[in-house]
Amino acid sequence: MIKIETVLDILKKDGLFHEIIDQGHYHYNCSEVVFDSISYDSRKVKEGTLFFAKGAAFKKEYLLSAISQGLSWYVAEQDYEVGIPVIVVNDIKKVMSLIAMEFYGNPQEKLKILAFTGTKGKTTAAYFAYNILAQGHHPAMLSTMNTTLDGKTFFKSALTTPESIDLFDMMAQAVHNGRTHLIMEVSSQAYLVKRVYGLTFDVGVFLNISPDHIGPIEHPSFEDYFYHKRLLMENSRAVVINSDMDHFSVLKEQVEHQEHDFYGSQSSNQIQNSKAFSFSATGKLAGDYDIQLIGHFNQENAVAAGLACLRLGASIADVKKGIATTRVPGRMEVLTQKNGAKVFIDYAHNGDSLKKLISVVETHQTGKIALVLGSTGNKGESRRKDFGLLLNQHPEIQVFLTADDPNYEDPMAIADEISSYISHPVVKIADREQAIKTAMAITNQEIDAVIIAGKGADCYQIVQGKKEDYPGDAAIAERYL
């Protein structure tokens, strides 16, 4: 529950309050107004709800519908003139976050919070951290792949970083469930639309940066994308940063006066003796490590998670055991066909992550390589050119272009766009299962490999704005082993 007096105090303190307009219909005593629920979804309101009218697509009709369900107060950046009082504010997204914190009892103060950002690797690093902290603590995790608030039940999140009201609700549930730590992925979008406004993280980790999420409904430029990624560093008590990432010098200067750890070649925390399933580390994590996820970049993610968890109470023994036991659905999963050829399933869904994935596979498999790939519709359009230019440099790979969440676009039109940058022949098959089956059929010996990139463990295809059931790349590949 939250009193309107508290709401107004929070808003005024942050300079967000503009005015209350009651349209002459109400004569209220502020001390008597109390809200027992908060919502930004007009379908989830009742008497006693404080409703937030947010979003460029918000319509007056949503409010009228909510009023018919008993709504008597709302918060907005304008007066919709619907006959009930409105608290007018100058930034509804900031307001939602601050009020949600208070409404749910400031759960962020009862958890040690670790956040990962980066163009790629957030989910893998989060899984490493979860398994490390699970050795001696009670972590919760908010991840693109799997979310758990009790350490027992897991579910998939709709967003990388949930809306602020959902986020603090989840945090409160984690506290109620006896969780001591929270690991979460923080996207650039989370800062762009202020889902984590006012939240300070105990440790923030920056894994890497490369152009992504640039388009009409996302970031207008790389500079804007990078700026919003860097806000995590600004809002963390301590930070961990990859010294080999692009633009590291900018970050190094930014965190100069913060508690920090760097890892990679420009630090004392380095990876040595790297093999497929083991590596050694120097510096704070000095020692030998077993790892199930192949690829140097996965070892980097493990080191990043280990350094962060040391700051949150984990021991070196916890780090070693956590890294050794980590597997991630859809991240470098490896299957073996009856003829010995390998099938690699990975979420790689931008040019940089695909480049690293190909490099890892070619290190271990020296024969024929087939690649199944698509690109999402209505988002991340720049990836198509990135994929095409990259694959143009790999004429040895047989490319099968197919659907990957085409949404409102034609998957074959997306395939045509990718292939326009490739000078050697490619195969285009709209049906993803058929593309996987066809690709697997051309590999026939132990040194051969099929790479299925993009969807990872996702068991759906986004078509015409809706999620359609899809068995998942691993399940399909298993049918044709």
Give yes or no for residue 461 having a pLDDT over 90.
yes
Give the integer Cα–Cα distance in Å for 108 and 175. Answer: 9
Helices (H), 150-295: 164-176, 188-192, 222-234, 248-254
Domain endpoint, select from 49, 79, 103: 103
Annotation-wise, does 161 bind a ligand?
yes
Give the integer Cα–Cα distance in Å for 112 and 313. Answer: 10
Give the integer Cα–Cα distance in Å for 158 and 155. Answer: 10
Annotation-wise, does 118 bind a ligand?
yes
Report residue 280 as tokens.
């050694």
**146 in the same domain as 25:** no
**291 in the same domain as 147:** yes
Annotation-wise, does 124 bind a ligand?
yes
Specify the pLDDT at position 214.
Answer: 62
- Indicate which CATH number applies to the domain containing 345: 3.90.190.20
Task: Say which residues have a Cβ less than 8 Å from residue 409's Cβ, sequence separation at least 6.
Answer: 377, 378
Annotation-wise, does 366 bind a ligand?
no
**82 in the same domain as 130:** no
Which 3-state string (H, E, C) describes 10-24? HHHHCCCEEEEECCC
Report residue 22 as tokens.
């009651």
User: How many domains does the chain divide into?
Assistant: 3
**235 in the same domain as 317:** yes
Specify the pLDDT at position 139.
Answer: 98
The beta-carbon contacts of 320-323 under 8 Å, at least 24 apart in sequence, are: 320/287, 320/289, 320/290, 321/131, 321/132, 321/135, 322/128, 322/129, 322/130, 322/131, 322/132, 322/133, 322/134, 322/135, 323/128, 323/131, 323/132, 323/289, 323/290, 323/291
Domain endpoint, select from 325, 351, 384: 325
How crowded is the C-beta side of 386, counted as CA atoms within 13 Å?
20
Annotation-wise, does 119 bind a ligand?
yes
Q: What are 203-246's pLDDT values in tens digits?
A: 999 999 986 656 666 777 888 888 999 999 999 999 999 999 99
Rounded-to-5 percentages of helix, strand, coil across the chain:
35, 25, 45
Give the integer Cα–Cα distance in Å for 199 and 182. Answer: 13
Q: What are 169-182's pLDDT values in tens digits?
A: 999 999 999 999 99
Annotation-wise, does 195 bind a ligand?
yes
- Indicate which CATH number applies to the domain containing 192: 3.40.1190.10
Annotation-wise, does 49 bind a ligand?
no
- pLDDT > 90 fraction of the chain, expressed in percent and rounded: 81
pTM of the model: 0.81
Specify the pLDDT at position 331.
Answer: 82
The residue range of the domain holding 10 is 2-103
Specify the pLDDT at position 28.
Answer: 59
Report residue 480 as tokens.
């044709």
Q: What are 65-103's pLDDT values in tens digits?
A: 999 999 999 999 999 999 999 999 999 999 999 999 999
Q: Which residue has the tokens 């007018």?
A: 88
Annotation-wise, does 351 bind a ligand?
no
**315 in the same domain as 449:** no
Least confident stretch, 29-33, 60-64, 163-167, 264-268: 29-33
